[in-house]
Structures are given as structure tokens and as C-alpha cells.
Amino acid sequence: MDFTLSPQLQEFQLQLRDFLREHVYPIEKHFDETRFRELLPDLEKARARVKERGWWAPALPKELGGMGLSLLDFATVSEELGRSPLGHYVFNCQAPDISTMELLHVHATAEQKERYLQPLAQGEIRSCFGMTEPDYPGSNPVWMGTVARRDGDDYVLNGRKWFCSSADGATFSLVMAQTDPEGADVHKRASLFLVPTDTPGWRLVRNLPVMGLAGQDWPSHAEIALEDCRVPATSMLAGLGQGFALAQQRLGPGRIHHTMRWIGIAERAFELSCQRAVFRQLSPGKTLADESTVQHWVADMRADIESARLLVMRTAWRLEHLGSKEAALDVSLIKFSTAAMLGRVLDRAVQIHGGLGLLDDLPLAFWYRHERGARIYDGTDEVHRASAGRRILKSWK
């Protein structure tokens, strides 16, 4: 495996870094989840600049208006964009939309693509994903209370969802619901539905106050109620009983996207920490960088980031060349190990900055709050460790 970046990708990487500094970091300075809508005019200008440069939707195929990058190349791009909380949004490859677009591209009907995929790929609308439920553990995705009952040419959905990221302002949601609650095969009990958010019976209950912040519009996590929500049978995606399989397809590459974004966050935190260490004076002629403790932290941060990147790139290579089945162990390994790396790096970055690290003048405090969820969403550390352990020991049997 050779992870050497091509000259073209290296140049693109530097161009992205410069673009973020010039057009995204200035917007980021005013970023606050409770005031996101106020930033939309500036964000739309940045998005227009991305389109002018031909960088729009780097992970999407060219026929959808994207750059058509491979998973391995996009991993590098995702790391660069992860340096800012707004990077992926400006390039239209943010969660949850990127995974929704990839799923629709493969499985949606022509009518579904025209209604949902095309405007999503063009950045005209947004989506959300309804899978996790407040009354059922997310670690057991085949067990849920939301039910879709067939009624003539329609399905009627009833249930509750939460942590539906970006539901506030989304045009449609992917909703996972049981269509065969008593089926013998638990992995085929649920189906996936495309539900417009203006459908009667689809109700946004509230934006969840995560770590003290209840975001508005895109950076939000919402609780959703489905109350006799009626949708046509044609809104089902990929057929009856395919909900679990589709969700797993969605989450596999999505974990590559997440982990590379986390590495981008860690790199930005590392840069800020080094700048702070050499700038901050402890006494005349002595800076933080002269302290052996800080030197050890910086060395540990560098080793953590480099190790995580290599493991994630290897996983992306295996996914691309060998398929999801062969890379299942690798995906579990990067999920919990990269999340742990991010937590360690952010914690040291805040400590190096001292009181400044607690302020929202820098993105560190936001990331410290927001990315604690990295060890929970898309499968908790404990679930991925158990899955990886079982796979490893099975091979020894």
C-alpha cells in the first residue's frame, strides 16, 4: 500500500488549506450554534467560490456535479476540510447529507433521485436521518419502536426519533421503521422511507441541548415525533426489509469521513498548540515551549495523529480495493481508536492554552464539547471494541 499523495492531490491539499484560511476561518470566528442562520449569507458566498473553482461536492461522481474523487483521495480532502467546523458544509460534503447522497445514488429510483438527490447534490436542500430512538439503545439498531403500517397504497408511520442531526431546516428525512415487527429475521424487520419534513404527522419536537447548546438549522440534533405520518409506498427506499442493510451501507464509508475529519480537527488543534507554546511567555526569555511537560505533550500529539492517519488511510484503501466485508474489522478499529486520539489531542490542546482554551475565541472549546460525542455516535467505543475482539478471536479459532 502506497499512501503517497499524487502531485495534483498535494497541490489541491495546499489550495484547500489556503481557501479555508481566506474564506472560511473568518466566518468561523463568529460561529456559534445558536446563531448559525446569521452566517448563511457569508457561507453561501463561500459556497459560490467553491463552485467557481470546480471543487463542489468532492466525494460525489461527476454526473451529479461532484469531483468524483476516490474514497482514498477524499479521505485527504476530508482531513483538510475538518480543520474548520464549517469546512465540509461549505464544500457540500457534510454529514448527514454526504452519506444520504451516496445511498440515494446507488439505491434510489429515478423519481426519488429527481426529487431528493439532485437538489441535495446541488446544495439547494438538506436532509436528516432518523434511526436512533430515545426509548431504545442505539447499540442495538435492529430493536426499535417506530412502526410503518401498510394502508392501501400508503404506509402510516408512528414513533419517536432523536439525535436526528440537521433536522431543523431539512427538506426530507430518511426514517427507519419496522414494517415486519414480528419477522423471524431481525435484520429484515425494518425498512427505510423518504419522508418530506412538511408531511402531516412529521413533527420536530425540539432541538436537543447538547453540552449546553441547542443548535439551530444545520448544526443541530433534534427530537422527532411521527404521529400517523402517511407516506406513499413509493417513498420506500430499495424495497421491503432493507432498512438495516441500507443503514450499514450508509455508516461504513461514513466512518471514514468522520475519522478523517477528526484528524483534521486534531491537526488544527496541534497547530494552535504549537503556536501558543512558542508565543506564550512564562517569564522574561522563557516560553511554554521550553517546558519539558509541554514538549512531551506535543510529541505525544504528533505520534497520535500520525498513527491514526495511517490506520484510517489503510482502512480506506481496504474498503476501496477489497470491499466492506474484508474491511469490517478495520472500520471498527479506526472508529474507537481515532475517537480516543481526538479526545487526547483536544484535551492537551486546551491544557496548553490554559484559560484561553476554555474561551470560544478559538474553536478548541467548541470541539472539546462537540466531539465528545465521537466516542458515542456511529457505534460506541464499547460496541466497536467488542465487535473487533470477536472478529480477531474468531480468526484464531
Please give the Cα distance from 222 to 219 (Å, whole number).
10
pTM (two decimals): 0.91
The partner residues of 232 in beta bridges, in order of sequence, read 154
Indicate the pLDDT class of residue 33, thresholds 50, 70 and 90: low
CA 219 to chain centre: 11
CATH 1.10.540.10 fits 7-108, yes or no: yes
pLDDT digits (tens, 9 = 90+) for 59-92: 999 999 999 999 889 999 999 999 999 999 999 9
- In this structure, of 248-257, 332-341, 381-390, the range with the lowest mean pLDDT score is 248-257
Question: Looking at the chain, how many residues does it have?
Answer: 397
Domain formed by 245-396, architecture: Up-down Bundle (1.20)
Asked whether 154 and 230 are in contact (CB, 8 A), the reply is yes
Please give the Cα distance from 369 to 311 (Å, whole number).
25
Q: Report which of residues 290 and 140 the model is more confident about.
A: 290
Residue with cell string 486534531: 266
E strand map for 112-153: 127-130, 147-151
Output phi, psi for 374, to 5 deg.
Answer: -60, -30
Output phi, psi for 72, to 5 deg.
Answer: -70, -45
Instruction: State the DSSP code for 3.
Output: -
Please give the Cα distance from 232 to 236 (Å, whole number).
8
The angle subtended at Cα 251 by Cα 247 and Cα 254, nearest 5°, is 145
Please give the Cα distance from 151 to 345 (Å, whole number).
52
SS3 227: strand
Asked whether 85 and 31 are in contact (CB, 8 A), the reply is yes
Please give the Cα distance from 233 to 237 (Å, whole number).
9
Percent of the residues in the chain that have a pLDDT greater than 70, as a whole number? 99
Domain formed by 127-237, architecture: Beta Barrel (2.40)
CB-based burial, 226-247: b 16+ in 10 Å, e otherwise: beebbbeeebbbbeebbbbbbb
- In this structure, of 97-111, 178-192, 209-223, the range with the lowest mean pLDDT score is 209-223
pLDDT digits (tens, 9 = 90+) for 252-308: 677 888 999 999 999 999 999 999 999 999 999 999 999 999 999 999 999 999 999
Please give the Cα distance from 192 to 155 (Å, whole number).
11
| Sequence-distant (≥ 6) Cβ neighbours of residue 83 within 8 angstroms | 17, 20, 264, 265, 267, 268
Asked whether 166 and 220 are in contact (CB, 8 A), the reply is yes
- In this structure, of 242-251, 275-284, 310-319, 349-358, the range with the lowest mean pLDDT score is 242-251
Domain range list for the chain: 7-108, 127-237, 245-396
CA distances (Å), 301 to each of 210, 281, 340, 381, in order?
27, 21, 12, 20
pLDDT digits (tens, 9 = 90+) for 163-210: 999 999 999 999 999 999 999 999 999 999 999 999 999 999 999 998
pLDDT surpasses 90 at 247:
no
Percent of the residues in the chain that have a pLDDT greater than 90, as a whole number? 84
